[in-house]
Structure 1
Amino acid sequence: MFAKMEIIGQFNLGFIVAKLNTDLFIIDQHATDEKYNFEMLQQHNVLQGQKLIAPQNLNLTAVNETILIENLEIFRKNGFDFVIDEDAPVTERVKLISLPTSKNWTFGPQDIEELIFMLSDCPGVMCRPSRVRQMFASRACRKSVMIGTALTVNEMKKLITHMGEIEHPWNCPHGRPTMRHIVNLDLISQE
């Protein structure tokens, strides 16, 4: 439905006023762009790993070790890499050989534990540790359209169209609502 919205204009250099049929909406231009940018980072960004000087033992339980081994690709997309020794005793088969790093962000075993916990609930589903999500939210915020920026109708239309391309467009990664329903124009008296 976002693609069908008609742009009315920009309000206060921070909000887009749009109409769908007889419903009027106000859309936060920064929160909307931030949510889209965040979702794109979440889906497509592969974190680069920093090789360790020596492989590191992780002291995993047998169950957690199995979860990690069964979800190696998800760990790799998050910048973690491991060497697996199938001949080693259970709980000692996995050694960490690479950790994700990104500018001022460093990650470690606690992020591996969090990923294992998340994957125990949803095996095989791409997920990110909370600190990676925080990093992506920070990056998305900095690269998004700022409040105070004048937008053309095409730029506003692009932001609204992007809302229809993501699964949960209703809040930015920091929790701010992206849009609000103002009024149904049929309810306004013609007097």
Structure 2
Amino acid sequence: MFKEMEIIGQFNLGFIITKLNSDIFMIDQHATDEKYNFEMLQQHTVLQGQRLIVPQNLHLTAVSENILIENIDIFRKNGFEFLINEDAQVMERVKLVSLPTSKNWTFGPADIEELIFMLSDSPGVMCRPSRVRQMFASRACRKSVMIGTALSVSEMKKLVVHMGEIEQPWNCPHGRPTMRHLANLDIISQD
């Protein structure tokens, strides 16, 4: 219902005041933009890999090896590339050939293990290692509207509409709430 919210204005160069029916809400302009930017990075970023000079053995268990092979596309989106030899002995079928790197962030076997663990609970579900999430949270924060920035009504409306386009708009990636219910005008007018 974010699309239906009416923009009342900006408060203290940091909060958007909106109205939906009789309810008044205060939306943190930075936290809400950060959450949207974070979710867009999570969904659409394919990390680029850095090829290794020599393919690296991973020493995975048979179960872990199967999870990796069955979810190879998720690993690719996270910037990992593997050489898979189906004819090799179990636990020796997979070799790492490329690791994700992004500016000053580097990733490695611990991130592969974390992804395998996550995928063992939710096979086929797109997920990111925690360090990739941290990197995206940092980038989303830096590219978001800052507190202290004056916004036009159309800029405020865009931020509010974006909240309705993501699954969990309630907190930024660092845990800060994106909005608070301020008042219900029907209750106030009765007093």
Distance in 2 (CA, whole Å) between partners of 1:155 and 1:190 is: 34
Distance in 1 (CA, whole Å) between partners of 2:125 and 2:187 is: 44
Note if 1:51 corresponds to 2:44. no
Partner residue, 1:5: 5
Equivalent position SS for 1:171? coil
Equivalent position SS for 1:7? strand
Residue ranges of structure 1 left out of the alignment (5+ in a row):
none
User: What stretches of structure 1 move > 6 A for 4+ residues in a row?
Assistant: none
Distance in 1 (CA, whole Å) between partners of 2:107 and 2:86 is: 26
Query: With structure 1 as the length reference, what TM-score do the two structures score?
Result: 0.99
Partner residue, 2:70: 70
Residue ranges of structure 2 left out of the alignment (5+ in a row):
none
Shift of 1:87: 1.1
- 2:57 counterpart letter in structure 1: N
Shift of 1:190: 6.1
Distance in 1 (CA, whole Å) between partners of 2:190 and 2:62 is: 70
Q: Give CA deviations for 1:76-102 in whole Å, capped at 9, x if unaligned.
A: 000000000111100000000000000
Task: Provide the alpha-carbon RMSD of the alignment.
Answer: 0.8
Partner residue, 2:133: 133
Shift of 1:26: 0.2
Partner residue, 1:108: 108
User: How do 1:144-183 residues align onto structure 2 when only pairs under 5 Å count?
Assistant: 144-183=144-183
Equivalent position SS for 2:134? helix
Q: Give CA deviations for 1:108-155 in whole Å, capped at 9, x if unaligned.
A: 000000000000001011000000000000000000000000000000
Shift of 1:189: 3.5
Calculate percent identity across the aligned residue pairs.
Answer: 83
Equivalent position SS for 1:188? helix
- 1:59 counterpart letter in structure 2: H
Partner residue, 1:143: 143
